[in-house]
Amino acid sequence: MNKMHDCGATAWMDQVYDVVIVGAGAAGIGVGIVLSQLGVTNFVVLEGETVGASFKKWPRETRFITPSFPGQGFGALDLNAIVPDTSPGYTLATEHMSGAEYAEYLHAVAEHFDIPISEHTYVRRVDKSGEVFLLETNQGLVESRFVVWATGEFHYPEETAFQGAEVCLHSSRVASWSALAGDDYLIIGGNESGMDAAYHLIQSGKRVTVVTSGKDHLNEDDEDVDPSLTLSPFTYQRMTTVLDSGRLSIRSNMRVARVEQTGDEFLIYFDNGETWLRQTQPICATGFRGGLSVIAEHFEWSAEETVTLSSRDESTKTAGLFVVGPSVRHGNVILCFIYKFRQRFAVIAEELVNRLGIPLETSVIEYYRRNNLYLDDLTCCEVKCEC
């Protein structure tokens, strides 16, 4: 096999790994660090591009909606840190960092903890033979006793949400909002990515219409307090600064049926019978399919198109396959932000160490627990707010 790349990795070896982690984003690096701290040495992180690649592909203007602040000295972990005693806010001197900046933080912690990473190693397929996983990659076959799937969602945009979605521009394909030509844009989707796009386009002097099949989070009563279901305070605050600009229109409870392109024009058909004509390419802010779609056959899927996982985030269909990151759901508990899903790193790592028969360093688990990075009781995650 080819030589591994960066972050302390040495060389491919013809062996069966104890653990292979797929994806070198926040989730993959985070789990890798806990495994290393627990004494696991026979593991590798496979990354299709480079460390933090999905963050590097964010639009240039997009910022983290969760603030970063170095509060460890006062018992408050930075919301975007993936390991205790680190802080991207301190490292980068930025409260709401860009994707490229966060990728710098991920690379720094991976290098500091000497995590073995093979970059430019894309996993095409995962099979299981007996007790061993066979991962087919562009660099050759990799074998492992356990797999942690940590590919995230950004690389897998939802581009089939309605007929003709492929002629639209998905928000994840935009390098810079200010670089888009044209003066009048239609955004399909009114959640975080849609509102972020609207804000930056308006800041660039453009007119924007947002259509959403759900509610208008800015102008309608919103009883949801889980930030996974409503706008973050950061986005809400930014949008209030452009509400009176005269360049923003929001239409709620409107579902797109299909989009057609004729020459340089776009026809948008809605379920309510309306048809709109646009001169600029509509923008899809319709979310993401998620990386689990690559290995969908290894999971049981619910009617809501989420995977069924054990209490330790293991596939209920394929033993030894674990999931970490924004695709994880447990009933009404949605773990789609870094500050949420990072609380499961040590839970998964502890389970793997026990399965491997490695003596458990309980001090490491307690270290994560003290820093609120060990969440094994999901019944505590019912979101409530009194005022």
How many CA within 13 A on the CB side of residue 238? Answer: 20
Q: How confident is the model at residue 382 (pLDDT cuts 50, 70, 90)?
A: low
* Those residues with Cβ within 8 angstroms of residue 332's Cβ, 6 or more apart along the chain or in another chain: 382
- CB-CB contact of 117 with 47 (8 Å): yes
Residues 49-101: pLDDT tens digits? 999 999 999 999 999 999 999 887 777 899 999 999 999 999 999 999 999 99
Residues 124-155: pLDDT tens digits? 999 999 999 999 999 999 999 999 999 988 88
Question: What is the reported pTM?
Answer: 0.92
* Those residues with Cβ within 8 angstroms of residue 12's Cβ, 6 or more apart along the chain or in another chain: 1, 2, 3, 4, 118, 139, 140
Mark 346-364 as b/e (b = at least 16 C-beta within 10 Å). Answer: bbbbbbbbebbebeeeeeb
The fraction of the chain above a pLDDT of 70, given in percent, is: 93
Please report the pLDDT score of residue 1 as a whole number.
33
Instruction: Find the angle CA(312)-CA(363)-CA(327) to the nearest 5 degrees.
Output: 25
Please report the pLDDT score of residue 220 as a whole number.
73
pLDDT average, residue stretch 359-374: 96
> CA dist 241 to 180, 185, 199, 225, 262, Å?
21, 19, 9, 22, 36
Please report the pLDDT score of residue 384 as a whole number.
59
Residues 220-236: pLDDT tens digits? 776 666 767 788 899 99
Average pLDDT of the chain to the nearest whole number: 91
pLDDT average, residue stretch 194-209: 96
Lowest pLDDT segment from 28-37, 194-203, 224-233, 267-276: 224-233
- Helix (H) / strand (E) element for 127: namely strand 123-129
Q: How confident is the model at residue 383 (pLDDT cuts 50, 70, 90)?
A: low
The fraction of the chain above a pLDDT of 90, given in percent, is: 77
- Between strands 43-46 and 16-22, the pairing is parallel
Lowest pLDDT segment from 253-262, 292-301, 302-311: 302-311
Residues 264-306: pLDDT tens digits? 999 999 999 999 999 999 999 999 988 898 899 999 998 878 8
Residues 2-26: pLDDT tens digits? 334 443 333 454 789 999 999 999 9
DSSP string, 129-177: ETTEEEEEETTEEEEEEEEEE---STTSB---SSBTGGGSEEGGG-S-G
Query: CA 94, CA 98: separation in Å to the nearest integer?
Result: 9
Please report the pLDDT score of residue 364 as a whole number.
97
Which carries the bigger pLDDT value, residue 10 or residue 219?
219
Please report the pLDDT score of residue 385 as a whole number.
53
Query: CA 71, CA 383: separation in Å to the nearest integer?
Result: 23
